[in-house]
Amino acid sequence: MTDSVQEWEVVIGLEVHCELNTASKLFCGCANVFGDEPNTNICPTCLGLPGSLPVVNEAAVTKAMTLGRALGCTVSNSIFARKNYFYPDMPKDYQVTQYEEPTNSDGELALGDGSIVQIERAHIEEDTGKTTHVGGDGRIHGAGHSLVDYNRAGVPLVEIVSRPVIRSARQAKTYVEELRAVVLAIDVSDARMDQGSMRVDANVSVRPVGSDELRTRSEVKNINSLRSLGLAIEYETRRHIDLYEAGESPLQQTRHWDEAAGRTRDGRSKEDADDYRYFAEPDLVPLEPTQAQIAAIDESLPPSPALRRTRLAEAVGVDPADVAIVVMRGQDQLALDAVGIGADGAKTLARIENELAVEDWSAITADALADVVTRETTGKLSATQAKHVIAGLVEAGGTVDEVVATLGIASVDSGELVGMLDALIEQHEDEWARLADGDRKLQGFFVGQIMQLTNGQADGKIVQTLIAERLR
Amino acid sequence: MRATELAEAVRSGERSATEVLDEYLERIEKRNAELNAFVHLDEDRARARAAAIDETVAAGQDPGPLAGVPVALKDNMCRAGEPTTCGSRILGDWRPPFDATVTSRLSAAGAVIVGKTNMDEFAMGSSTENSAYGPTRNPHDISRVPGGSSGGSAASVAADLVPLALGSDTGGSIRQPAAFCGVVGVKPTYGAVSRYGLVAFASSLDQIGPLAANVADSALCLDVIAGHDPLDSTSVPDHFVPVSPAVDAGVEGMRIGFVSQLGSGSDGVGGIDPEIDAAAKRAATALEEAGATVGEASIPASVYGLSAYYLIAPAEASSNLARYDGVRYGARVDAKTTAEMMVATRTAGFGDEVKRRIMLGTYALSAGYYDAYYDKAQRVRTLMAREFASAYESFDVLISPTAPTAAFKLGERTADPMTMYVNDVCTIPANLTGDPAMSVPFGNNSAGLPIGVQVIAPALGEFDMFRVAGAIEEALR
Ligand SMILES: [Zn+2]
């Protein structure tokens, strides 16, 4: 089995749909809001009533082009097209999208792991409504009836289509994470997979290692988290390999990720669904952005996550991949500032990465962070103490001295305690070795020694923590 | 009475809008059962509206250029709260919650909308026989069709049931019935009149325009409904130059071309009745006498117009009509699954001609056929636009017959769709190019049936088009 696994390589292309966070929908003035009462944000146009016509929301086009430019795409004159198929949550029974001549084409995304994923296109389209099947376990087969909410119908989407250059489930996840970071940095989408404002379809195929052919792929839909994306790709990869090794071939088909069962399932039959009869949407005119508009978008772009990683990595002296999380969380400026003040780079990164993984870390200033890290580096605070101080700063704000006082750390300089412990370990090598072997009784011995040396001024808890740290 | 005169009389207080409306409603009451021109009357709203206009006049204010003029809408134009059937069963009792832009512009100009007129289902047809509400009859001879698809509007104006009506023209659906009924019918430049609120047949070809008893009335109506509309992305942004002043401006010095392929010559589209060809040539002579120079214009691609049109229009229609699926509004035939419900609804709701065109269009857009059909048809369209553009280098305006024949008998052409389709052969080119065109009555044939002459102008050349139309009308006086 292991031998045969190594003969195959997986080929993945991702289609990521991002709902743009515009105030209104793509072709009408209805509010673009998630979670409202069903069918409250609707009008003749997004319901596709007879006689209604679409009018393009300029803000959506600007956001789409901004995303395109952030992904290094060429922005060209573009046209809308109709994708024709019948589905009850699609009001017109066609979707307005872009087919030939999309707005954004030929971009790329540099990932935190150093790889680069080419992007074929990032086109604009409208979202559909949402169907809920009532009865029959929520599945269409056996459902008593279906309810359709058209609030989402007509919400602007950008579909980012990667080239089939992704080579692992891990890289696929990194790509989506990176895309999410870009989208958030330029504020064009909430990019929440759990709410469906970012949706990922994975085109998966396998081929013998060393080959450059593209074999039959399956398109996996209904992936609702990064974790599922990885699992679905792994499942599909295995399934394809198994089929080939059994002398069979996978079918080109749409499959759905079944989260509960941890597997993909046959989607709707594609026998009559593949011909979408695309043609240019006659109700809309071409989008023709001027060079000035594109230049203005370029000027508005914040530095890309890739650039921010390089910048921070250089300042700290580590590999760009090591600062990926901090950049993704948007804490790179804090790190740069703290390091600029003089804090140690590696320690600063470690503290941010570990201690600021909380929702709201905005109370901490670069000055305070640099102060804590410097105290840690100079032995005035132990690692544990530094963590506690940072937690205190995040929670209550204030200066480092205030937090240290509140935590009662100031009574005996923990730097001194560290020195005492070092000396004690040297003097009592045997006892320390036994403690390290698990003889817990000896912890009391060392605490007692330090209490003696400090005339009982040291905080017993801190001493215990110092010992525990040293043992680790 | 002319619409222009009616409006003046109401504005000046000489006649009340209520009295005018009563007179027209009485005529409708008398003749509609026989003609079946109206499918829906909004009597109560019309009376309330007329009363309001009378109050406006009494208060010393001006209700607008169409003050008190009764107007009919083809039943594919939305008026909030009123039935809009498109001559189909599939819309059921659906009532739009909004006004078409033309509806609100007519109302703002003081017009009194009296109701909706009959039409070929979804505007697909040339005789108004393809209506779920039965055929409309030609007021000149009730054994004959009024043309179509705006047959109800054309017949209502011809019978003086209203002085003005709106129609929609995708391949000739205003001009051909105007010719058959002896009235004026105008298809403006694509984008000159907003399509917002017009139920789509073929979006890149559809255009709303007036039908009237004379050129001046049609000009008055067009001046009210034309102009940029932000609700229609294909609406022309330019200011619309009013055409009313053009009607009496004369044609002195104008260069007019007779489109040879749309006559009865051997290089032409074929099937043009010599009597009609002769009438169009007499109109050309009359224009020459009025001071224009007349020559022969050549549009060789005209012969492909019909084929291109019967691919493009059905293709767009197959997509536009997909929404009638029984899910959200209109008729629904229940079935076990959603897909079966959609099929059952569409099978019961659409008539044969609509189904035929949905199938044609679906086929033309299908993978593997797109290039051979839809794409090639679009190339013909481009070629035709180029040929017209080159003709406009030598001519200001072009003329031709409007329809190959005069009104035919009911049932005469329903068996073979092709004999119906060729009715549009002279009118289709202007839809494909987007240029304005109109039909002006020019006498009768030997059987006493009206004949129409078509005037075609370059895009946004409505002013010149109305100069020529006015002169043709004048020549008959
Ligand atoms: Zn809406």
Model pLDDT, residue A413:
66
Cis peptide bond upstream of B149, omega within 30? yes
Query: What digits encode the pLDDT tens for the residues B361-376?
Result: 999 999 889 999 999 9
> Could you tell me if A456 lies within 8 Å of chain B, comparing CB atoms?
no
Distance to chain A for B289, nearest Cα, Å: 43
* Residue at which a domain ends, from A298, A329, A350: A298
Average pLDDT, chain B: 97
* Shared-domain flag, residues A44 and A177: yes
Model pLDDT, residue B300:
95
- Bigger pLDDT: B332 vs A399: B332
What one-letter code names the amino acid at B308?
A
For residue B352, pLDDT beyond 70: yes
* Shared-domain flag, residues A58 and A95: yes
* Residue at which a domain ends, from A270, A298, A326: A298
* Residue at which a domain ends, from A256, A280, A298: A298
Q: CA B138, B139, B143: angle at the middle one, nearest 5?
A: 50
| Interface-testing mutation among B233, B373, B378, with chain A (most A C-beta atoms within 10 A) | B233
Please name the member of A48, A51, A275 whose beta carbon is closest to the beta carbon of B100: A51
CB B468 within 8 A of CB B287: yes
Nearest to A465 by CA among A383, A393, A389, A406: A383
Number of H helices, E strands in chain B: 15, 11
Q: How far, in Å, CA of B198 to CA of B76, rounded?
A: 6
Q: How far, in Å, CA of A404 to CA of A392, rounded?
A: 9
Distance to chain A for B375, nearest Cα, Å: 9
Model pLDDT, residue A266:
87
Model pLDDT, residue A1:
44
CB A339 within 8 A of CB A316: yes
Query: What digits encode the pLDDT tens for the residues B122-151?
Result: 999 999 999 999 999 999 999 999 999 999
Domain residues for the domain of A450 are 305-471
Q: How far, in Å, CA of A316 to CA of A323, rounded?
A: 9
**CB < 8 Å to A61, chain B:** none
Q: What is the 3-state secondary structure (H, E, C) of A337-378?
A: HHHHHCCCHHHHHHHHHHHCCCCCCCCCCHHHHHHHHHHHHC
- Bigger pLDDT: A455 vs B63: B63
Q: Is B173 a catalytic residue?
A: yes
| Interface-testing mutation among B91, B205, B338, with chain A (most A C-beta atoms within 10 A) | B338
**Sheet containing A94-97, strands listed edge to edge, beginning at the edge strand earlier in sequence:** A94-97, A81-84, A279-280
**Sheet containing B397-401, strands listed edge to edge, beginning at the edge strand earlier in sequence:** B38-41, B112-117, B70-74, B164-168, B208-212, B184-187, B437-444, B450-456, B397-401, B255-259, B293-297
Which burial class, exposed, middle or buried, applies to A396 when counting CB atoms under 10 A from its CB (0-12, 13-18, 19+)? exposed
SS3 B396: coil
Q: Indicate the helix (H) or strand (E) that contains A468.
A: helix A460-471
| Strand-pair category, B397-401 with B255-259 | parallel
* Shared-domain flag, residues A158 and A203: yes
* Shared-domain flag, residues A202 and A323: no
For residue A29, how far is its CA from the centre of ligand 1 (angstroms)? 6
Q: How far, in Å, CA of A77 to CA of B290, rounded?
A: 48
* Shared-domain flag, residues A256 and A331: no
Please name the member of B76, B322, B374 whose beta carbon is closest to the beta carbon of A92: B322
Any idea what DSSP says for residue B444? E
Model pLDDT, residue B392:
98
* Shared-domain flag, residues A213 and A314: no
Q: How far, in Å, CA of A375 to CA of A369, rounded?
A: 10
Q: Indicate the helix (H) or strand (E) that contains B208.
A: strand B208-212
| Interface-testing mutation among B320, B321, B336, B376, with chain A (most A C-beta atoms within 10 A) | B320
CB B202 within 8 A of CB A23: no
Q: How far is residue B419 from each of residues A40, A377, B361, B424, measured CA to CA in Å? A: 49, 94, 19, 10
Catalytic residue among B131, B156, B173, B439: B173
Any idea what DSSP says for residue B424? G
Which burial class, exposed, middle or buried, applies to A440 when counting CB atoms under 10 A from its CB (0-12, 13-18, 19+)? exposed
CB B161 within 8 A of CB B144: no
For residue B186, pLDDT beyond 70: yes
* Shared-domain flag, residues A250 and A356: no
Which burial class, exposed, middle or buried, applies to B282 when counting CB atoms under 10 A from its CB (0-12, 13-18, 19+)? middle
The radius of gyration of chain A from alpha carbons, rounded to an integer in Å, stands at: 29
Please name the member of A93, A282, A285 whose beta carbon is closest to the beta carbon of B323: A93
Q: How far is residue B186 from each of residues A85, B165, B221, measured CA to CA in Å? A: 36, 11, 10
Q: Is B127 a catalytic residue?
A: no
Nearest to B455 by CA among B475, B470, B469: B469
Please name the member of A50, A53, A88 whose beta carbon is closest to the beta carbon of B232: A53
Contacts of B290 (CB under 8 A, 6+ apart): B250, B251, B252, B471, B474, B475
* Shared-domain flag, residues A269 and A317: no
The radius of gyration of chain B from alpha carbons, rounded to an integer in Å, stands at: 21
For residue A27, how far is its CA from the centre of ligand 1 (angstroms)? 7
Query: What digits encode the pLDDT tens for the residues A174-218?
Result: 999 999 989 998 999 999 999 999 999 999 999 999 899 999 999
For residue A45, how far is its CA from the centre of ligand 1 (angstroms)? 5
Other C-beta atoms closer than 10 Å to the C-beta of A162 total 27
Model pLDDT, residue A380:
79
Average pLDDT on B63-87 reads: 98
CB A30 within 8 A of CB A54: no
Inspect the interface and report whether the beta carbons of A51 and B342 lie closer than 8 Å. Answer: no
Quote the crossing angle between the two packed helices A414-427 and A460-471, to the nearest 10°: 60
Nearest to B433 by CA among B191, B155, B263, B116: B191
Q: How far, in Å, CA of A131 to CA of A450, rounded?
A: 68
Which stretches in chain A have pLDDT values below 70? 1-6, 136-143, 268-273, 410-413, 455-457
Fold of B3-246: Amidase signature (AS) enzymes (3.90.1300)
Nearest to B439 by CA among B246, B177, B165: B177
Average pLDDT on B455-469 reads: 98
Query: What digits encode the pLDDT tens for the residues B92-109?
Result: 999 999 999 999 999 999
Distance to chain B for A216, nearest Cα, Å: 20
> Could you tell me if A277 lies within 8 Å of chain B, comparing CB atoms?
yes
* Shared-domain flag, residues A39 and A80: yes
* Shared-domain flag, residues A151 and A238: yes
Q: How far, in Å, CA of A401 to CA of A380, rounded?
A: 12
Distance to chain A for B98, nearest Cα, Å: 8
Contacts of A148 (CB under 8 A, 6+ apart): A88, A89, A129, A130, A131, A132, B327
Average pLDDT on B330-337 reads: 94
Any idea what DSSP says for residue A236? H
* Shared-domain flag, residues A213 and A345: no
- Global pTM reads 0.88
Q: Is B74 a catalytic residue?
A: yes
Nearest to B135 by CA among B334, B420, B341, B333: B420
* Shared-domain flag, residues A274 and A389: no
Q: CA A211, A215, A218: angle at the middle one, nearest 5?
A: 140
Nearest to B234 by CA among B265, B266, B200: B200
B158 backbone φψ class: left, alpha, beta (φ>0; ψ -120 to 50): alpha
Other C-beta atoms closer than 10 Å to the C-beta of A187 total 11
Nearest to A131 by CA among A86, A173, A180: A86
Structural domain tally of chain A? 2
Nearest to A109 by CA among A161, A62, A168, A167: A161
Whether the CA torsion B94, B97, B102, B108 is positive or negative: it is positive
